[in-house]
Structure 1
């Protein structure tokens, strides 16, 4: 016998999964009394037993929140950005007696994720990668599950309800960094990006290109597998052979920038005298790695906290106070540009 799920109830009551989820959570605002009664009747008829839902959500303080990170790397948790964001989210939820169920998913396996198929969480947090069309499909799938969701580092979509997008100002930070870069009067720049697409990287590239175009600096966008050092080196060597030595190399994250720095210095180039290098994220502000990159500091930990705070307010009050939050970033002075 197949288990009775939210989808089963929704199909029999002829309503959406989101409507059933709201009814079992006691959130009836915007739903007609007749629809509420019909859904409750089907729930009783099918003997549907929601997991950590309904009235228990208002009295029980030991909830489980799901966090799905779509990344094709099996070592995604070694990425300092993801680590800090998850830490901020987990620690905030933990202080309020919520647990975090973390699930790393390769893009091609997203639709098979147990977080979508099983009612084991009261809400979902997402961090998505892949082409924009794929990310939009992932969002639609989660939205259809009826879970309230917080989406980190993704372009907001007004058409999605019961959802809060939490971002940092990647484009603004990139524009600020680019203004420092153009003070060198560069004629040519390389912009290093990961092959795997992320909205944050897209926003950074947009900010960089806006300023570089304004100041008529030629640039080339170079992609590589950021998890494979040799892939980065090979892509850089191909670009150097094709376009010559650039005046500036811009890493859209610090890992790309550090690998480029070491490769160029080993080849005899002087940084920053011959070539300026910049990064983005600035998690190594204490100088454990040398040199200290000219960079932009990301508030990844605070981003996780902000998402947790928004989600708990939603679970308590029945709706998100805001559909979009943007945290500022901070420029970091280093020794690799001027």
Structure 2
């Protein structure tokens, strides 16, 4: 039996070999939807499998995208935001015959990262944590490797070449949430943040403080290890001992908010009767949790898809179509602030 090749598919689909190659590689620009459907149908009927080695040699690519997540937690993939973003990125790349090489990196080990030392990927995606100067140094190190870069949820740097920043509107979402919080006329507010610094959290705090300062609200910013419930609980207890019981607790992500809710209600503080609580992210999995948090819905999955699309366009055309992109967030109405 003769092997099934691009030529075989092209003959049966009555198109050129180049057209089949484009469809196989997910490049459908300039090809009618009817032709794409016909080629895909023939590929499935013939059970055609691309010759990956030949494909790599012809295109001088590995068809692999690296994803580096700088996080000091060994269980970084349990974070819902990371999970949703990686899923969106991986699914998009997979649908275009690219693989995703995922690498979690502790901040102290960044320079020894496999992605920097080995040229096995065509491009690199980043999610960075740590102080802003440190994150900028990480960006410079990755760009020095010669790979095009998509940085998720990171402060844009206009001077960097071959780098695309894709964010969600964390500051705008936080401002909208804060405007709702001040309607409660709070006398004392706690803002819970993770100890590990992320640009997204910095943007949320900036948005919250902008509105709370405008309304002359009294607030304290409290940090803790978000991966340890006991750390969050102790931070809350210490803040209440120093400042009194708050009227509102704002979690800069839903994990912090849910731990605060459990701890405060277990300590005899009814929510939302005595204390209002809000979060940030509002993923679908949270719908099964009770109570439903007043929160902000993050488009993390779409962020991942958009990053994959930007990278493949860059690999195909030689440049990014945009330097920065900000996706909108939406309010998520819950029962913890009324």
TM, length-normalised to structure 2: 0.82
Other-structure match for 1:289: 289
- Residues 189, 246 of structure 1: 8 Å contact kept: yes
What stretches of structure 1 move > 6 A for 4+ residues in a row? none
Other-structure match for 2:329: 329
Distance 1:251 1:287 in 2: 17
- Residues 126, 151 of structure 1: 8 Å contact kept: yes
Displacement after TM superposition at 1:285 (Å): 6.2
Distance 2:192 2:155 in 1: 21
* Aligned partner of residue 241 in structure 1, secondary structure: helix
Cα-to-partner distance string for 1:127-161 (whole Å, 9 max, x where unaligned) = 00011111010001011111000000000001110
Cα-to-partner distance string for 1:235-261 (whole Å, 9 max, x where unaligned) = 110001000011100000001000101
- Residues 88, 302 of structure 1: 8 Å contact kept: yes
- Residues 61, 122 of structure 2: 8 Å contact kept: no
Displacement after TM superposition at 1:234 (Å): 0.5
Displacement after TM superposition at 1:61 (Å): 7.9
In structure 2, do the counterparts of structure 1 residues 152 and 198 end up closer, same or farther at CA, with 3 Å as the change threshold?
same
- Residues 62, 121 of structure 2: 8 Å contact kept: no
Residues 101-116 of structure 1 mapped to structure 2, 5 A cutoff: 101-116=101-116
- Residues 175, 208 of structure 1: 8 Å contact kept: yes
Displacement after TM superposition at 1:59 (Å): 3.9
Residue 242 in 1 paired to residue 242 in 2?
Answer: yes
Residues 224-243 of structure 1 mapped to structure 2, 5 A cutoff: 224-243=224-243
Displacement after TM superposition at 1:273 (Å): 1.2
Distance 2:166 2:159 in 1: 16
Distance 2:286 2:68 in 1: 30
Distance 2:114 2:244 in 1: 49
Residues 79-98 of structure 1 mapped to structure 2, 5 A cutoff: 79-98=79-98
Cα-to-partner distance string for 1:92-132 (whole Å, 9 max, x where unaligned) = 00000000000000000000001011111010000000111
In structure 2, do the counterparts of structure 1 residues 121 and 62 end up closer, same or farther at CA, with 3 Å as the change threshold?
closer
* Uncovered stretches (5+) of structure 2, i.e. residues with no partner: 1-51
Other-structure match for 2:9: none
Other-structure match for 1:259: 259
Displacement after TM superposition at 1:268 (Å): 1.1
Distance 1:217 1:282 in 2: 25
Distance 1:57 1:183 in 2: 62
Residues 164-175 of structure 1 mapped to structure 2, 5 A cutoff: 164-175=164-175
Distance 2:179 2:58 in 1: 50
Other-structure match for 2:27: none
Displacement after TM superposition at 1:58 (Å): 6.4
* Aligned partner of residue 287 in structure 1, secondary structure: helix
Other-structure match for 2:210: 210
Other-structure match for 2:14: none
Displacement after TM superposition at 1:270 (Å): 1.2
Distance 1:270 1:106 in 2: 39
Distance 2:61 2:145 in 1: 23
Distance 1:226 1:269 in 2: 21
* Uncovered stretches (5+) of structure 1, i.e. residues with no partner: 1-51
Distance 1:150 1:286 in 2: 28
Other-structure match for 2:73: 73
In structure 2, do the counterparts of structure 1 residues 286 and 67 end up closer, same or farther at CA, with 3 Å as the change threshold?
closer
In structure 2, do the counterparts of structure 1 residues 118 and 62 end up closer, same or farther at CA, with 3 Å as the change threshold?
closer
* Aligned partner of residue 290 in structure 1, secondary structure: coil
- Residues 248, 277 of structure 1: 8 Å contact kept: yes
* Aligned partner of residue 283 in structure 2, secondary structure: coil
Distance 1:217 1:325 in 2: 32
- Residues 165, 323 of structure 1: 8 Å contact kept: yes
